[in-house]
Amino acid sequence: MSKQKTERLLGLVVCLLSARRYLTAGQVRDAVPGYPETFDAFKRMFERDKDELRELGIPLETGVGADDEIGYRISRQAYELPEIRLEPDEAAVLGLAARVWRRAELAGAAAGALLKLRAAGIDAEETTQPGIEPRLQTDEAAFAPLWQAVRDRRPVAFGYQAAGRATPQGRNLEPWGVVNRHGRWYVAGFDRDKAEERVFRLSRIDGPVTFTGPPGSVAVPAGTDVRNLVQAWDGAPPPVRTAVLRVRQGAGYGLRRRAISDQPGQDGWDLVEAPFSEAGWYADYIASFGADVVVIEPVDLREAVIRHLKGALT
């Protein structure tokens, strides 16, 4: 029965928290109601109970009890949330931060944290600022195992569907961190097969993520900034060249927003100078404006756009 179990676990926590010295299994059985009579059955149940308490994050310590037997207790210092006091504006942003995870992977953890903070006397409401609604989505199945791997410092293996590859490939990674960049999740770490730093997109992970080593077996190099790693991998290279474009009046707003100069013409077309980094990629973008944008120079960009438009017609 779930209720009996709750009563027993509650008794066990109170008993071990109030214990001044380590209590042996026998002493625990004598003190806490609800354990079976036979020693073997008690022992099995006690083992399971200890595991459950540890899973809740209750710091169960072992030491030497009576008659040199192994004993147990919970140190109050290790158990208790240290003193924390928040001003009303601080409690408000805390409530807002918890809302970020609604329906996402750490929603339960955020709610659990708020519960403990409320128990510490903080009045953190989940709805204090109606004007703002922040969300972090974790729709990718790989998020949960990769967060656990990063948290517990465990290496992982997974199948990865790289862009432009027909079939997924197996990867072995020592994960250093997970990063959400512009709404998409990435994992950065040391790729054991390639023997270098790599970044993977979670939505391209195919199938399950498996742990390939024990907790604590991944060392994150000092000074690693996972955010920068992902930015370097995902970010566009800096623009180093300049294109001269004819842009139809009333069109090409996307282009004009990054323009260096924008001179109105007399014939219904404006002359726009815009920076770009790489002709191939920029030609794709120019082509998306169809007949509203024409490249004057450079020549390689002009040719790339022509090739691209011909490609659209084949």
Q: How far apart, in whole angstroms, are the C-alpha atoms of residue 118 and residue 218?
A: 35
- Bridge partners, residue 24, by sequence: 71
Please count the residues of this chain forming the interface with another protein, following the rule CB under 8 A: 120
Residues between 154 and 183 that touch another protein (CB under 8 A):
163-166, 176-183
**Contact positions with another protein (CB under 8 A) in 103-162:** 103, 106-107, 109-110, 112-121, 130-137, 147, 150-151
244: contact with another protein by CB under 8 A: no
* 288 sits near another protein (criterion: CB under 8 A): yes
Q: What is the distance, to the nearest Å, from the Cα of residue 175 to the centroid of all Cα atoms in its chain? A: 12
Least gap, CB of 18 to another protein (angstroms): 5
Task: Output the smallest distance, CB 40 to another protein, in A.
Answer: 21
Nearer to another protein, 192 or 227 (CB): 227
Can you tell me the distance from the alpha carbon of 125 to that of 95, in angstroms, rounded to the nearest whole number?
5
| Minimum separation from the CB atom of position 193 to another protein (A) | 22
d(CA 95, CA 97): 5
**CA-CA-CA-CA torsion sign (17, 20, 21, 23):** negative
Q: Which of 202, 227, 182 is nearest to 139 (CA)?
A: 202
Which residue, 43 or 269, has its beta carbon nearer to another protein?
Answer: 269
Region class of 243: left (phi > 0), else alpha (psi between -120 and 50), else beta: beta
Q: Rank residues 43 and 181 by Cβ distance to another protein and give the closer one.
A: 181
Per CB under 8 A, which region of 13-21, 60-68, 191-199, 208-216 contacts another protein? 13-21
Least CB distance to another protein at residue 60 (A): 12
Residues near 176 by beta carbon (within 8 Å), at least 6 away in sequence: 150, 188, 189, 190, 218, 220, 221, 224, 226, 229
CA–CA dist 168, 279 (Å, integer): 30
Please, which residue, 59 or 241, has the CB nearer to another protein? 59
Of residues 41 through 80, those in contact with another protein by CB under 8 A are 52, 55-59, 76, 78-80
In the complex, least distance from residue 176 CB atom to another protein, rounded to whole angstroms: 7
Choices 61-69, 209-217, 236-244, 306-314; region in contact with another protein by CB under 8 A:
306-314
Considering beta carbons, is residue 7 or 191 the nearer one to another protein?
A: 7
- Which region, left, alpha or beta, applies to residue 163 given φ > 0 means left and ψ of -120 to 50 means alpha? beta
